[in-house]
Amino acid sequence: MKYEPQAGAVKLTMLLSGTVFLLMMIFGLVLRASQGNFIELDPAIFYQILTAHGAGMVGSAALSGGAIMWYFVGKYTKLNPVIYWLFLGLFLAGVVLILGSVFIGEYGGAWTFLFPLPAISGGAWGVEAAVIFCLGYVLIGVGFLLYYLEMGYRIGKKYNGFSGALGWRYIVNGDLEKAPPPTVIAAASVIIFNSTGIIFGAIVLVASIVNLLLPEFAVDALLAKNAIYFFGHVFVNATIYMAVTAVYEIIPEYTGKPWKTSRLFAIGWALVVVFVQLVYFHHVLQDLVMPAWMLALGQIMSYASGIPLIGITTFSLCVYIKGSGMKWDLTSKLLVLSVAGWTIGSIPAVIDGMIAVNKVMHNTLWVPGHFHTYLLLGEVAMAFGFSVWLVRGKAKKTANNLLERLTFNIYALGGFGFILVFLWSGASSIPRRWAVHLEEWHFHSQIGTVFAVGVVLATAVLVMIYTAGLVRRETKK
């Protein structure tokens, strides 16, 4: 099935995502430079930039992941382009509200909007700014729910319901003819767990907005925290689970071997649906008022969550690459890096999920170390790998030149170095979210800043490569 008519919206989305990735990385560079005492930044400004950086990076990862999944699901079933444009419009409207609340309303309560912080700013921002920030999130959530409803309806209709789209029937009967492709199984899985997460997020957001406007409307703080972290953790994970469809669809072009659905693959994604929704409990291991069974479950799920990833996608990728004579260019390198980064990022996450470690390390820079591995070397690398492929296709003569080799090497080395400094800082008990660092912590931040410069420069080149390819492709039409 041809799906090129959808490509225009997706190309625009990837351009927007890449540009915002670059801008948010510059924000991150400023934050690390401030912590390293290279520059002086007012703490209020620091927390505003931190809020924009967190919301912007997660939002761009979700937007790019959504675009990738929409593009490839469109290969197997017809999707309504009007829904995609509506999704994109609501998303951008939400972004405008969020940026306005941060840089005009001076909101600095972090991207998690943790209750009751938005209402208790100590005069740093007004209630209006907090309300606008939450409304921005609501618009983005509504856009994603429309996106998922459309996609879920289409694949459910084609594959005889969600049990068919998820491949669960194939698990039982093993009939290869009835097995959906890996991209459809991934999409159906994401639709289930991220729709659930977004609904929880929408409920707590609306409750928070009502509380902001009518303080007498009571909200249970512990229930709100669980809903917020459930939404946030599921949503962040969904970004990479959407983007991994690029690996399933593009890598076979290089290996000459299609990425096939197997019973093990379907079982792995069935586990993902469950694990992604339960692993968030490791964010509340320090809440002693939580039921003991939830804390135990959080630890167990943290151990188990990496099994489907490593056992299915990572292992399969290695099998597909081995002996394939795959040509290495910017696209293939970025996609393989993304799976490696995703896999490596699961290791510090599992360590943080241990109660004995979590109670000491969770509020240190160890945690940004693990989720920056997921994002910087995982989802973002997938997004740029897809972007280059989108405007170029499989490697051509001009691909993999000196500039592109240097760009990839700097991005990979800078990314790994930047993340290792976070982990080293966490192991040294340096706290996260502190605007001002003690003098003995400056050295860590300064090294991190140097690596961040490399990542920003490489990302700028990746954005230019994509933009130039997009212009050339459109000019030839």
Cis before 116? omega within 30? yes
289: CB partners within 8 A, 6+ apart: 222
Q: How far is CA 391 from CA 9, 233, 310, 387, 388, in A?
A: 13, 32, 30, 7, 6
Mean pLDDT of the 454-469 span: 96
Which pLDDT band holds residue 37 (cuts at 50, 70, 90)?
A: very high
Distance CA 247, CA 259 (A): 9
HSE, CB side, 13 Å, CA atoms: give it for residue 117. Answer: 14
Q: Write down the mean pLDDT value for the chain.
A: 91
| DSSP helix/strand/coil, 129 | helix
CA distance readout (Å), 255 to 249, 258, 264, 381: 11, 8, 21, 19
Q: Which helix (H) or strand (E) holds 352?
A: helix 330-352
Alpha carbon of residue 387 to chain centroid: 16
Nearest residue to 65 via CA among 465, 388, 387, 471: 387
3-class DSSP state for residue 431? strand
Model confidence at 186: pLDDT above 90: yes
Token readout for 266 is: 């379907």
State the sign of the Cα–Cα–Cα–Cα dihedral 297, 241, 59, 46.
Answer: positive
pLDDT of 396: 52
Q: What pLDDT is recorded for position 476?
A: 67
- Lowest mean pLDDT, pick from 44-58, 285-299, 320-334, 353-367: 285-299
Which residues 6+ apart lie within 8 Å of 443 measured at CB?
36
- Asked if 452 contacts 418 with a C-beta cutoff of 8 angstroms, the reply is yes
- Euclidean distance between CA atoms 465 and 473, whole angstroms: 12
Q: Length of the chain in residues, anyone?
A: 477
Residue 475: pLDDT band (50, 70, 90) is low
pLDDT for 314: 85
φ, ψ for residue 431, nearest 5 deg: -70, 155
What CA–CA distance (Å, rounded) separates 301 from 315? 21
How confident is residue 1, by pLDDT bands cut at 50, 70 and 90?
A: very low
Distance CA 98, CA 103 (A): 9
DSSP state letter for 176: G
* Among the listed residues 206, 248, 251, 210, the one whose alpha carbon sits nearest the alpha carbon of residue 231: 206
Segment 52-79 mean pLDDT = 95
Q: Is the pLDDT of residue 285 over 80?
A: no
Which DSSP state fits 181? P
- CB burial of residue 293 (10 Å; 0-12, 13-18, 19+): exposed
Nearest CA to 186 among 65, 18, 79, 49? 65
From residue 392, alpha-carbon distances to 404, 408, 466, 473 in Å are 13, 17, 9, 8
- Integer-rounded Cα radius of gyration of the chain: 22
Average pLDDT over residues 95-117: 93
| DSSP per-residue string spanning 112-143 | T--TTGGG--TTSS-HHHHHHHHHHHHHHHHH
Domain ranges of the chain: 10-476
- Give pLDDT, residue 24: 96
Query: What is the pLDDT, as a whole number, of residue 468?
Result: 92
Residues 396 and 82 sit within 8 Å (Cβ to Cβ)? no
The count of other CB atoms within 10 Å of the CB of residue 226 is: 20
The torsion defined by the Cα of 188, 193, 195 and 197, in degrees rounded to 10, comes to -170
What mean pLDDT comes out for the span 132-149?
Answer: 96
Q: Is the pLDDT of residue 395 over 70?
A: no
CA pair distance 373, 370, nearest whole angstrom? 5
Q: Flag whether pLDDT at 397 surpasses 60.
A: no
- Give domain 10-476's CATH number out of 1.20.210.10, 2.60.120.10, 3.40.190.10, 3.40.50.2300: 1.20.210.10
Who has greater pLDDT, 256 or 414? Answer: 414
Average pLDDT over residues 54-68: 96
Mean pLDDT of 221-237: 92
- For the cut 80, the answer to whether the pLDDT of residue 315 exceeds it is yes
pLDDT for res 426: 95
Cα torsion 135, 137, 138, 139 to 10°: value is 90
In sequence order, which ranges of 159-220 are alpha helices (DSSP H)?
162-165, 168-173, 182-213
